[in-house]
């Protein structure tokens, strides 16, 4: 199917038959405005369904009119990935909200996609429970978090969205509602579409409801920080805590430019437990620099090191490969000051300053990609100004791409869901 251009001439007109059709199934349907662009691409319509059923009718109508559809929650990651190659309808999920069921005794929660993660966490905290996942982007919805699969420091202990998601309801491109998984943590019946939709950037279906497993909120925490004296020490210090029996919930590395790095270990548990573990962690880390123990998380503990207008990368590697990524980033920082933050689990985020020449950013990406791939890792460009985005390979090499394309063709044969946003032009 040929890609259609997006120009001002496509803007909807009064008496628009398509808008009427959308309005008929979803009364919030309206013409898009300049505020509804996705990564710079204008939309024609916006609609905010309030239920899975309404979302299904909406996508059914979109299918009838061959509309290209992008889902939007809080819009915190709307410019990640590639811009859509065409766009007609933005499905706004922010009216699809609320906790459907919090089965506290079962440590399970059913929540609609548009619910802000912070709102969900507040609700769960009332029962001393949590979704054990950091939200690096304030305001993000649970649906967007699943669709892009963001994670933070505590992934080291709790895993990521894919590990916490136990059931999902979504609307296919043809308007059919499908679900997989269920409401129990242990369940191997049928294929796990929750995993496929997690991190799929809206290209396989519109997520309307998810079921997540919960964890108890820890009663106490300690944060052990060491400012390492030199570069190599940061990795060695992080590896020492990670390999200990202290069960850290997070081991984070921070490296700014060519400065010596900081390692932060988070210990969660009960009051008289975390004290002893913090002491033991301090003992381990003392060899690498000045150790500090606090009870509060540092400000912006889960934040991404991306600056407005800059380029934000996700660099993965094996756990030992983290050392090489840090070294490469430090070497590149001789010319371009990079901010590196991330987990000893093998996921580092790298911020390239705003205003960096696109060719230089492309060089940074290539160099980091070379290092990351040596240990089986990858580099993905999350945020970037348009000129940089045009100069870099956003996704890099993707093993299994042929199978991914075949999956996309099965679920969305018209390539109407978030077209072009994902790997290999999917």
Cβ closest to another protein, residue 18 vs residue 347: 347
Total binding residues for another protein by CB under 8 A?
87
Q: Please, what is the end-to-end C-alpha distance for the chain in angstroms?
A: 13
Using CB under 8 A as the binding rule, whether residue 54 contacts another protein is answered as no
CB 169 within 8 A of CB 205: no
User: For residue 291, is it left (φ>0), alpha (ψ between -120 and 50) or beta?
Assistant: beta
Pair 78, 58: CB distance under 8 Å? no
Range in contact with another protein (rule: CB under 8 A) among 139-147, 178-186, 353-361, 362-370: 178-186
Alpha helices in 47-172 (DSSP H): 52-64, 117-125, 142-148, 155-158, 161-164
Nearer to another protein among residue 96 and residue 148 (C-beta): 148
Question: Positive or negative CA dihedral for 60, 63, 64, 70?
Answer: positive
Number of H helices, E strands in the chain: 13, 19
Q: Indicate which single residue of 196, 263, 266, 340 sits in contact with another protein (rule: CB under 8 A).
A: 196
Q: In what order do the strands lie in the sheet with 311-316?
A: 289-294, 220-228, 262-269, 250-256, 339-343, 347-352, 311-316, 379-383
CB-wise, 45 or 395, nearer to another protein?
395
Among the listed ranges 20-28, 58-66, 114-122, 170-178, the one in contact with another protein (CB under 8 A) is 170-178
The stretch among 31-39, 69-77, 177-185, 254-262 that binds another protein (CB under 8 A) is: 177-185
Are 412 and 203 in contact, with CB atoms under 8 Å apart? yes
d(CA 33, CA 70): 15
Q: Give the interface segment with another protein, choosing from 190-198, 223-231, 284-292, 352-360 (CB under 8 A).
A: 190-198
CA distance 169 to 49: 15
Q: Out of 73, 144, 152, 377, name the contact with another protein by CB under 8 A.
A: 377
Please identify, using beta-carbon distances, which residue of 288 and 422 lies nearer to another protein.
422
SS3 193: helix
Q: Of 234, 253, 273, whose CA–CA distance to 346 is shortest?
A: 253
Residues numbered 126 to 165 that lie near another protein (CB under 8 A) are 128, 149, 155, 159-160, 162-163
334: phi > 0 → left, psi -120 to 50 → alpha, else beta; which?
alpha
**Would you give the DSSP letter of residue 418?**
S
- Encoded one letter per residue, x for contact with another protein by CB under 8 A and - for no contact, window 404-423 reads x-xx-xxx----------xx
Q: Quick one: which segment of 11-19, 47-55, 176-184, 292-300 binds another protein (CB under 8 A)? A: 176-184
Contacts of 25 (CB under 8 A, 6+ apart): 54, 57, 58, 60, 61
Task: Tell me the Ramachandran region of residue 380: left when phi exceeds 0, alpha when psi lies from -120 to 50, beta otherwise.
Answer: beta
User: Which parts of 303-342 interact with another protein (CB under 8 A)?
Assistant: 314, 316-321
Which residue, 17 or 103, is less far from another protein as judged by CB? 103
Residue number with CB closer to another protein (250 or 347): 347
Residue number, 41 or 407, with CB nearest to another protein: 407
Residue 71 touches another protein, criterion: CB under 8 A:
no
Q: Which of residues 388-407 bind another protein (CB under 8 A)?
A: 395-396, 398-404, 406-407
Which of 273, 298, 358, 425 contacts another protein by CB under 8 A?
Answer: 273
Helix (H/G/I), strand (E/B), else coil: 245: coil
Residues 232-251 that bind another protein (CB under 8 A): 239, 242-247
Question: Is the distance from CB of 343 to CB of 315 less than 8 angstroms?
Answer: no
At 276, give phi and psi (nearest 5°). Answer: -65, -40
Residues 95-124 that bind another protein (CB under 8 A): 103-108
Tokens of 227: 């400012």
Closest contact distance (angstroms) between CB of 317 and another protein is 5
Can residue 277 be called a binding residue for another protein (CB under 8 A)?
Answer: yes
Among 93, 97, 115, 200, binds another protein (CB under 8 A): 200
Comparing CB distances to another protein, the nearer of 305 and 377 is 377
Q: Which of residues 215-234 bind another protein (CB under 8 A)?
A: 215-217, 219
Please report how the helices 231-242 and 271-286 are oriented relative to each other, as an axis angle in degrees rounded to 10: 140
> Is residue 94 a contact point for another protein (CB under 8 A)?
no
> Which CB atom, from 19 or from 240, has the smaller least distance to another protein?
240
CB of 301 or CB of 395, closer to another protein: 395
Residue 244 CB, nearest distance to another protein (Å)?
8
Q: Footprint of another protein on residues 336-365 (CB under 8 A)?
A: 345-347
């Amino acid at each position: 199917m040929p890609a259609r251009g997006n120009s001002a001439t496509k803007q909807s007109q009064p008496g628009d038959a398509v808008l009427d059709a959308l309005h008929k199934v979803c009364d919030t349907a309206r013409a898009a405005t300049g505020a509804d662009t996705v990564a710079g691409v204008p939309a024609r319509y916006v609609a905010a369904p309030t239920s899975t059923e309404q979302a299904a009718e909406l996508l059914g109508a979109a299918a009838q009119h061959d509309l290209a559809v992008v889902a939007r929650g809080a819009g915190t990651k709307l410019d990640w990935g590639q811009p859509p190659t065409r766009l007609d309808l933005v499905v706004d999920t922010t009216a699809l909200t609320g906790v459907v069921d919090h089965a506290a005794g079962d440590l399970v929660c059913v929540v609609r996609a548009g619910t802000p993660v912070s709102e969900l966490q507040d609700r769960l905290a009332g029962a001393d429970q949590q979704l054990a996942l950091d939200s690096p982007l304030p305001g993000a919805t649970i649906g967007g978090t699943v669709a892009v699969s963001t994670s933070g420091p505590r992934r080291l202990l709790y895993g990521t969205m894919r590990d916490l998601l136990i059931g999902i309801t979504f609307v296919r491109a043809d308007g059919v509602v499908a679900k997989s998984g269920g409401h129990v943590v242990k369940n191997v019946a049928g294929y796990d579409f929750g995993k496929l939709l997690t991190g799929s950037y809206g290209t396989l279906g519109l997520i309307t409801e998810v079921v997540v497993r919960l964890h108890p909120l820890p009663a106490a925490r300690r944060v052990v920080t060491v400012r390492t004296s030199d570069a190599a020490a940061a990795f060695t210090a992080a590896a020492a805590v990670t390999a200990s029996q202290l069960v850290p919930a997070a081991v984070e590395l921070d490296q700014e430019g060519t400065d010596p790095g900081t390692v932060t270990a988070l210990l969660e548990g009960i009051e008289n437990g975390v004290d002893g573990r913090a002491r033991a962690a301090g003992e381990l880390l003392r060899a690498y620099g000045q150790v500090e123990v606090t009870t509060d998380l540092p400000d912006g503990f889960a934040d991404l090191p991306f600056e407005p207008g800059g380029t934000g990368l996700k660099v993965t590697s094996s756990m030992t490969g983290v050392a090489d990524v840090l070294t490469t980033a430090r070497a590149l920082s001789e010319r371009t000051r990079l901010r590196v933050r991330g987990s000893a689990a093998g996921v580092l985020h790298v911020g390239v300053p705003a205003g960096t020449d696109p060719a230089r950013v492309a060089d940074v990406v290539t160099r980091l990609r070379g290092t990351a791939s040596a240990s089986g890792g990858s580099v993905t460009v999350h945020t970037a100004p348009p000129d940089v985005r045009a100069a870099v390979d956003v996704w890099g090499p993707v093993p299994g791409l042929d199978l991914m394309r075949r999956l996309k063709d099965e679920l969305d044969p018209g390539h109407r869901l978030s077209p072009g946003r994902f790997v290999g032009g999917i």
